[in-house]
Amino acid sequence: METTDTGKGVYKILTERIIELLEKGTIPWKQPWNKKELPQNLINRIPYKGINMMLLSAFNFERNLFLTFKQIKGLSISLEKGAKSLPVVFWRWPELKKDEKEALAETDEKKKAKPILRYYSVFNISQCKNIPEKLIPPLLICQNDPIESCARIVENMPNRPEIQFVRQEAFYNPSLDIVNVPDMKFFDSSESYYATIFHELVHSTGHESRLNRKDGMESISFGSEKYSNEELIAEIGACFLEAHTGISAKNFDNNVAYIDGWLRRLKKDGRFIVFASTQAQKAADYIIGNSVDEHEPIQVKSLVKKRSSRKAKCGN
């Protein structure tokens, strides 16, 4: 009687290979997408940080380059009609006169002095006209193309969460059940793009509507044992999916390096990788579960977006 390989043998082989590489030492983990388009000032190229980075990213401008009103006036740039400014917040300590400083020092009240929340306004370059061409840097993008085997897995995952491309970060938000990844054009390669999506989709299988992996879905602190376990599950699961789709060769060292980083937090206790591997198998099986026949063509829709006409090849 003919039997079908469910992939369990492959999972075991991959887990053993990961452990073997970990024992030999691994290369440092490398983030597979560039962050050159994080929100930043067009003139001084200083990136915005903290809440400002999050707020400006949320507007989903094609280019995350901004100008202050003072810079716009100084460069004789004009604003589009109806353009609305965007706030950038910062904290500033109050400027005290000499006698006020002395009074605070004498009464030991300095500890009670608090910074004041201030803001200034910026405009995105898309809201401006007549910006000198030489000021706008070319957009660093990669000429990546969809990989059929990977796109099939992603498109046909049962009960798949929404995938969006709003921010230059990769994460899964369990409360909203949304995966966010940078656009494909910002990745070093197509393989790295899909490996990142696979990682976040494995996270999403922990949702109560899927495998209900409660520990990974709770509000847990970065670096804690539960957090580290969930990261191991996601990365090992991504390894399994990469092997299933045939893209593992280009990403394996980076996968293992990432796993090694989390194992270090767990003091490389062997039980963690065995536990994570078991959970990763369940997650990979869930994601693969609804894949269509490999010969059936699919339409790659939302996972590939239009490329900008202003480009610079990846790797410069």
DSSP result, 245-303: HT-HHHHHHHHHHHHHHHHHHTTT-HHHHHHHHHHHHHHHHHHHTTPPPTTS-----TT
Residues (pLDDT < 70) of the chain are: 1-8, 26-31, 34-36, 93-115, 216, 219-223, 265-270, 290-316
Q: Are 239 and 248 a contacting pair, CB within 8 Å?
A: yes
Q: Say whether both 14 and 157 belong to one domain.
A: yes
Any bridge partners for residue 162, and if so which? 178
Q: Is the residue at 22 inside a domain?
A: yes
* Domain co-membership, 88 together with 25: no
The whole domain housing 131 covers 40-135
C-beta of residue 243 within 8 angstroms of C-beta of residue 153: no
Same domain, 98 and 209: no
Residue 130 φ then ψ, to 5°:
65, 30
Domain shared by 283 and 155, yes or no: yes
Tell me, yes or no, whether 78 and 158 share the same domain: no
The answer to the question of residue 298 being in a domain is no
The residue among 107, 190, 127 whose CA lies nearest residue 154 is 190
pLDDT of 26:
60
Orientation of helix 8-24 relative to helix 270-288, angle to 10°: 140
* Predicted pLDDT of residue 219: 65
Indicate if 84 and 194 belong to the same structural domain.
no
pLDDT of residue 309: 37
Q: Which of 200, 199, 164, 207 is nearest to 182 (CA)?
A: 164
Q: Could you write out the DSSP letters of every residue in 70-104? A: HHHHHTT-EEPTT---EEEEEEE-----HHHHHHH
**300, part of any domain:** no
* Domain annotation covers residue 311: no
Q: Which pLDDT tens digit goes with each residue over 201-223?
A: 999 999 999 999 987 677 666 66
**Is the domain of 44 the same as that of 99?**
yes
Virtual torsion, Cα 156, 161, 164, 170, nearest 10 deg: -100
Residue 65's DSSP bridge partners are 40
**What pLDDT does 107 receive?**
57
pTM assigned to the model: 0.63
In a domain, 2, yes or no: no
Which pLDDT value is given to residue 316?
A: 37
Assess contact for 312 and 140: CB atoms under 8 A: yes
**Residue 1 maps to a domain:** no
Among the candidates 112, 135, 158, a domain finishes at 135
Final residue belonging to a domain, choices 70, 100, 135: 135
Which amino acid would we find at residue 221? S
pLDDT of amino acid 102: 55
Domain count, the chain: 2
